[in-house]
Amino acid sequence: MYSCSSRDAAKSNSEETEPEMYEASEMSLLMRDMVEFSKAAKSALEQGKEIGSVPAHFYDLKKKKATRDEQEDEAFQAMADQYLKSLKGIDRGDSSAYYYNLSISNCKTCHSSYCGGPMAVISKLDYTE
Ligand code: HEC
């Protein structure tokens, strides 16, 4: 689907991209769910609706195995904490737009150090009132 390398980033802009030939890591599968959740959350906000609860398995982010064992880095763990904090804000249900945008900025922070490929996808998730 999406790739971490910027070489493949242009390719992944096309809807027609063939499935990648490697097996997706636990982390990649979770990231794909995070993209879907974020898209749905953004469209809920645009329609003035509630975002709803964050899927419980997102809170396992720090334990998921990534392709290059990124989950073992202290820096990864610290940035994951920030993202999980934003999710808790969304789950509390007040100031959802604020916590939603904070969660997307947490995606960008981590992706600017770890995995630049999906940045174009992530940038489209920003919500503006
Ligand atoms: C704490 C760091 C971190 C945060 C926060 C984070 N990511 Fe990721 N993301 C990664 C890493 C590391 C990978 C590579 C996983 C692998 O290759 O195993 C990845 C992979 C991805 C991928 C590629 C998945 C695939 O198909 O291989 C997408 C898309 C993605 N992230 C989107 C997001 C979005 C959207 C958010 C916020 C809602 C987000 N990420 C938040 C670290 C992060």
pLDDT tens, 52-102?
999 999 999 999 999 999 999 999 999 999 999 999 999 999 899 999 999
The answer to the question of residue 129 being in a domain is: no
Which of 5-14, 44-53, 73-82 bottoms out in mean pLDDT, i.e. has the lowest? 5-14
The answer to the question of residue 104 being in a domain is: yes
The answer to the question of residue 25 being in a domain is: yes
1 in contact with ligand 1, CB cutoff 6 A: yes
Find the Cα–Cα–Cα–Cα dihedral 106, 120, 53, 55, rounded to 10°. -90
Q: Is 18 helix (H, G, I), strand (E, B) or coil?
A: coil
Find the Cα–Cα–Cα–Cα dihedral 103, 109, 112, 116, rounded to 10°. -10
83 in contact with ligand 1, CB cutoff 6 A: yes
> Cβ neighbours of residue 10 under 8 Å, at least 6 residues apart?
none
Domain carrying residue 52: 6-57+67-123
The answer to the question of residue 32 being in a domain is: yes
Q: How far, in Å, from the CA of 107 to the mean position of ligand 1?
A: 7
Distance CA 53, CA 51 (A): 7
Distance spanning both ends of the chain, measured CA to CA: 29
110 in contact with ligand 1, CB cutoff 6 A: yes
Count the domains in the chain: 1
The answer to the question of residue 62 being in a domain is: no
24 in contact with ligand 1, CB cutoff 6 A: yes
Residue nearest to atom 43 of ligand 1 (CA): 110
The answer to the question of residue 81 being in a domain is: yes
58 in contact with ligand 1, CB cutoff 6 A: no
Distance CA 86, CA 105 (A): 10
The answer to the question of residue 128 being in a domain is: no
Single pTM value for the model: 0.90
